[in-house]
Amino acid sequence: MQKFYVIACLSFLAGLASGKAQTADSIAVPAVWLRADQGGATPTVWPDRSGHRRDAIAVPGEEPAAGGVINFNRTRLFDGLNDYMKIPYSPENAAAVTMIAVFQPVDTVERGVWGAEKATTRNMMLTTRRALGPEATLNEYARGENRPILSSVVQFWTRTAVVNGNGFLAVGSAGKERGQLPYKGSIAELMVYDRALGFLERLQAESYLAIKYGITLPGGNYVNSKEKIVWHGEQDQKFANRVAGIGRDDAFGLYQKQSASTREAARLLVLSAGPPAADNATNTTPIENGNFLLWGDDNAALTLAKGQGADSLLALVARKWLMKATGTTANQIPTELRINLKLLPKEPLGYWLVIDRSGGGNFSTDALEYIQPDKVLGDSIVAFSNVRWDTDGSGSDRFGLARAGRTLPLLTQLANPTCASPAGGRVAVEIVGGQGTYAYQLTGTKNGFSRRWQGTGTVEQTGLPAGSYTLKVTGEDKSTVQRHFTLTAPNALAVDLGQDRQLAAGKEIVLDAGTRIPAVTPVTYTWENNYGFRSKAAQVNITQSGIYTVTVTNAEGCSCTDQVIIGGQVARQFDVSPNLVRSGSTYQVNVSLEEASAARVKVYDTKGVLHGQMQGNDQAHYQFTGTGPQPGAYTVVLETPKGIETRKLVIY
């Protein structure tokens, strides 16, 4: 029994296989390798680059022409009449064969691309629509398309047979004896393996060809010769449309310096290392081995849509792109991006290139990097020069196109006020594409702030309190735009330990500083009193009289402090007379202790501010005289080595 397997045009590659047929940084060597982009060819000889000297030969009058191009790489052109080449390789002795080809037909007629001739037991061929093996015709290609095609055919034979030693492979025909029309179009590359490639080997070869010729492998990974994924089919699935790239892989001889997707005849986007040349071979900008830049888009429409955010002044092309960078110096490659404006909505000022360096898809106005075109070529091509990708080393960027404007103020930096500086807010403004002098007006919506000034396209304003603001910018041409932003105050804290209290003998008082602090707010607590008490808990149990102070601090460094006096019985007699007194008049504080000791009397207002103190030493009886401060309620505190006791004093 014979078996024939076809991996059809643009084969589906879902992931890496676990088995490896070769070591990393090496590739499976083809039995035949025809490359039209390599030198040394003549009209009748297409050199074999595999090292096996199986050159494709044409007789005079049947030789294909040079001069075709797929993605800036040269191809051989077959005329569809009698162009025909023979490869001195017979699959007759092979148990399996893998054939990988890149070609581009010029019409939609079914024509033969390659085939085995005089191969009695290995009857196989490829046309522009189907592949044929000994027993079956499988996997018809898409009809009616004449774009570049990457096809992989793998065929197995499970029995030996009598072979024809005169067999060979035909290029430009499915075989003259089959009755198929000769091939008409370009053939860029043909890789013939005399065995079935393993999944990883085939994936590497197809990735090489896909990058080189701008062909998208739908849904699959792109893998280099070092077995490193340079485009992840699953992770990057949203951007799996029109995937193309530049890069270098010496194991395959890949040195692609300029590229565009060949999915569509009209190329919207071309990217090159340095300025693009007439073809890939003449581009002189270097790329180090192992470095790649691959991009794909999300297949959105080429129409304009409003940018992200209520404050956005942008109109963005709906289609967005993902750029993936691989290699240690990929982010140092100076690239030029060219855009075909004929494929975009017509705009009098054209378009800016906008890049989200985070790679996360944030296309809000102030999150983007803006690059203006620096060249116009003909009537429709604009160029963005010296663009470097993945400058943050994250491995990816997202980019798009925004409608250019005369004045676009970016809020490049916003700094909120702090606890230490309630009016310490700051805003930095940069005008995209701005030239000359601008008139600025900054107005607070509710905080009463207003400021006017004139300046260049880069300005900074400081000394801003919290609040919502409107920034109005007027250019020299009288065009005016507005931006809105908000500066937030630091999170406010509140702590209230309540009224002063008396501590009863043998009892305790619970003080809780966290009653007004939300549970989700991270804060620290610092307790202390005048007798050496310390605690870091939100709640403390008090068994000793004293003046207790707590400071609550949040993660932003803001703090709030409160104080409470816990009094007790520390004196035989303690009174204030009179306790209702006119401001400026005197009052007496009488103290009798159980035994001689130091005593100190302090007077506090309701905010905990000290308004006076009196003290004495080594006495059992004291009489202090004080003068009434400003009208208000006050607390008179007696401090002794045994604790504190309090009395009230009212000044009118």
Q: Give the DSSP H or E segment for 199.
A: helix 199-213
- Across 482-494, average pLDDT: 86
Residue count of the chain:
652
On whether both 393 and 426 belong to a single domain, the answer is no
DSSP SS3 for 466: coil
Looking at residue 162, what is its pLDDT? 63
Q: Would the CA dihedral through 398, 399, 402, 406 be positive or negative?
A: positive
Is the model more confident about 177 or about 618?
Answer: 618
The neighbour count for residue 615, using CB atoms within 10 Å, is 12
Q: Residue 147 is part of a domain; what is its CATH number? A: 2.60.120.200
On whether both 532 and 603 belong to a single domain, the answer is no
Task: Kindly tell me if the per-residue pLDDT of 500 is higher than 70.
Answer: yes
Residues 604-646 have pLDDT tens digits of 887 778 999 999 999 989 999 999 999 998 989 999 988 888 8
Looking at residue 438, what is its pLDDT? 94
- Residues near 179 by beta carbon (within 8 Å), at least 6 away in sequence: none
In a domain, 413, yes or no: no
DSSP SS3 for 426: strand
Whole-angstrom Cα distance, residue 216 to residue 237? 12
Phi then psi dihedrals of residue 334, to 5 deg? -80, 115
Looking at residue 304, what is its pLDDT? 93
Alpha-carbon distances of 427 from 311, 412, 469, 554, rounded to whole Å: 16, 8, 10, 25
Q: Please classify residue 48 by burial: count the beta carbons closer than 10 Å to its beta carbon, then call 0-12 exposed, 13-18 middle and 19+ buried.
A: buried
Query: Of the given ranges (11-25, 233-247, 496-510, 603-617), which has the lowest mean pLDDT?
Result: 11-25
- Domain of 446? 420-487
Q: Which of 194, 211, 228 is the last residue of a domain?
A: 211
Which residue matches tokens 């014979």? 2
* Kind of pairing between the strands at 501-502 and 559-567: parallel
In a domain, 409, yes or no: no
In a domain, 295, yes or no: yes
Q: Which of 142, 176, 211 is the last residue of a domain?
A: 211
Looking at residue 405, what is its pLDDT? 85
- Residues near 445 by beta carbon (within 8 Å), at least 6 away in sequence: 467, 468, 469, 470
In the chain, the percentage of residues whose pLDDT exceeds 70 is 92
Looking at residue 264, what is its pLDDT? 84
- Across 287-315, average pLDDT: 89
DSSP SS3 for 204: helix
Task: Kindly tell me if the per-residue pLDDT of 137 is higher than 50.
Answer: no
Question: Please, are residues 417 and 465 in contact by the beta-carbon 8 Å criterion?
Answer: yes
Residues 93-131 have pLDDT tens digits of 788 899 999 999 999 898 999 998 887 677 788 988 888
Measuring CA to CA, which residue among 9, 30, 6, 4 is closest to residue 153? 6
The neighbour count for residue 197, using CB atoms within 10 Å, is 24
Q: Give the DSSP H or E segment for 206.
A: helix 199-213
Is the model more confident about 242 or about 499?
Answer: 242
Whole-angstrom Cα distance, residue 417 to residue 424? 5
Measuring CA to CA, which residue among 255, 190, 249, 197 is closest to residue 222? 249
Whole-angstrom Cα distance, residue 150 to residue 12? 12
Q: What is the mean pLDDT of the chain?
A: 88
Question: Please, are residues 102 and 95 in contact by the beta-carbon 8 Å criterion?
Answer: no
Looking at residue 206, what is its pLDDT? 94
The angle subtended at Cα 279 by Cα 99 and Cα 285, nearest 5°, is: 105
Looking at residue 361, what is its pLDDT? 92
Measuring CA to CA, which residue among 84, 135, 88 is closest to residue 112? 84
Looking at residue 160, what is its pLDDT? 58
SS (H, E, C) 49-69: CCCCCCCEECCCCCCCEEEEE
- Which one-letter DSSP state was computed for residue 118? S
Residues 238-286 have pLDDT tens digits of 999 999 999 999 999 999 999 999 988 889 999 999 999 999 999 999 9
Looking at residue 3, what is its pLDDT? 37
Task: Kindly tell me if the per-residue pLDDT of 529 is higher than 70.
Answer: yes
Beta strands in 135-212 (DSSP E): 137-138, 149-157, 168-171, 184-193
- Across 18-22, average pLDDT: 38
CA 409 to chain centroid, in Å, comes to 23
- Which one-letter DSSP state was computed for residue 308? B
Q: pLDDT class for 469, splitting at 50, 70, 90? A: very high
In a domain, 446, yes or no: yes
In a domain, 308, yes or no: yes
Looking at residue 493, what is its pLDDT? 81
The per-type count for the chain, helices as H runs and strands as E runs, is 1, 51
Task: Kindly tell me if the per-residue pLDDT of 183 is higher than 60.
Answer: yes
Tokens encoding 123: 């009857």
Q: Which residue type is seen at 294?
A: L
On whether both 179 and 165 belong to a single domain, the answer is yes
Measuring CA to CA, which residue among 231, 215, 236 is closest to residue 11? 215
Looking at residue 521, what is its pLDDT? 85
Q: pLDDT class for 163, splitting at 50, 70, 90? A: low
Alpha-carbon distances of 174 from 34, 110, 194, 578, 645, rounded to whole Å: 17, 11, 19, 122, 111
Looking at residue 204, what is its pLDDT? 96
End-to-end CA distance of the chain: 116
Q: Which of 378, 403, 428 is the last residue of a domain?
A: 403
Whole-angstrom Cα distance, residue 231 to residue 331? 16
Q: Residue 645 is part of a domain; what is its CATH number? A: 2.60.40.1930
Structural domains counted in the chain: 5
In a domain, 221, yes or no: no
Looking at residue 566, what is its pLDDT? 85
- Across 501-527, average pLDDT: 89
Q: Would the CA dihedral through 342, 348, 349, 355 be positive or negative?
A: negative
Q: Residue 458 is part of a domain; what is its CATH number? A: 2.60.40
On whether both 161 and 41 belong to a single domain, the answer is yes
- Across 158-174, average pLDDT: 78
On whether both 182 and 244 belong to a single domain, the answer is no
On whether both 607 and 547 belong to a single domain, the answer is no
On whether both 342 and 371 belong to a single domain, the answer is yes
Whole-angstrom Cα distance, residue 305 to residue 301? 10
On whether both 139 and 6 belong to a single domain, the answer is yes
Whole-angstrom Cα distance, residue 122 to residue 130? 17
On whether both 156 and 305 belong to a single domain, the answer is no
- Residues near 647 by beta carbon (within 8 Å), at least 6 away in sequence: 574, 575, 576, 579, 635, 636, 638
Measuring CA to CA, which residue among 344, 365, 362 is closest to residue 398? 362
B/e letters for 212-249, b = 16+ CB within 10 Å, e = fewer, are bbbbbbeebbbbbbebebbbebeebeebbbbbbbbbbb
Looking at residue 642, what is its pLDDT? 84
- Across 463-472, average pLDDT: 94
Q: pLDDT class for 26, splitting at 50, 70, 90? A: low
Looking at residue 275, what is its pLDDT? 97
On whether both 44 and 173 belong to a single domain, the answer is yes
Question: Please, are residues 605 and 651 in contact by the beta-carbon 8 Å criterion?
Answer: no
On whether both 636 and 562 belong to a single domain, the answer is no
On whether both 51 and 179 belong to a single domain, the answer is yes
In a domain, 225, yes or no: no
Q: pLDDT class for 133, splitting at 50, 70, 90? A: low
Query: Of the given ranges (1-10, 151-160, 580-589), which has the lowest mean pLDDT?
Result: 1-10
Measuring CA to CA, which residue among 298, 271, 284, 273 is closest to residue 361? 298
Task: Kindly tell me if the per-residue pLDDT of 15 is higher than 50.
Answer: no
Task: Kindly tell me if the per-residue pLDDT of 8 is higher than 80.
Answer: no
Q: pLDDT class for 220, splitting at 50, 70, 90? A: confident
In a domain, 224, yes or no: no
In the chain, the percentage of residues whose pLDDT exceeds 90 is 62
